[in-house]
Homo-oligomer: A and B are copies of this chain.
């Protein structure tokens, strides 16, 4: 998984039907790269989050063929000792 910081929300009105409704967050990773992750947890801008990628992310949607390859799976506690 990778760590990232939420930078804001992304809106996509024109989309494939199989993309589940829910928040799409713009996230900056520790390497400075940007990605868009589906957020099932309701995270906020500035929050440090944990992201899983690839078919592992899509599997969260239990066989619905959701075209999601990046998923926020946790919010990282502030006192994480790294």
Interface residues of A (CB under 8 A from B): 1-3, 7-16, 18-19, 24, 26, 30-31, 33-38, 40-41, 50, 52-60, 62, 65-71, 73-77, 79-82
Contacts and interface: CB of A to CB of B under 8 A. Distances in A.
A19 B54 contact: no
A60 B10 contact: no
A1 B50 contact: no
Nearest to A11: B77
B26 A82 contact: yes
Contacts of A52: 67-69
A66 B59 CA distance: 8
Given A74-B16, A76-B12, A82-B26, A60 B65 contact: yes
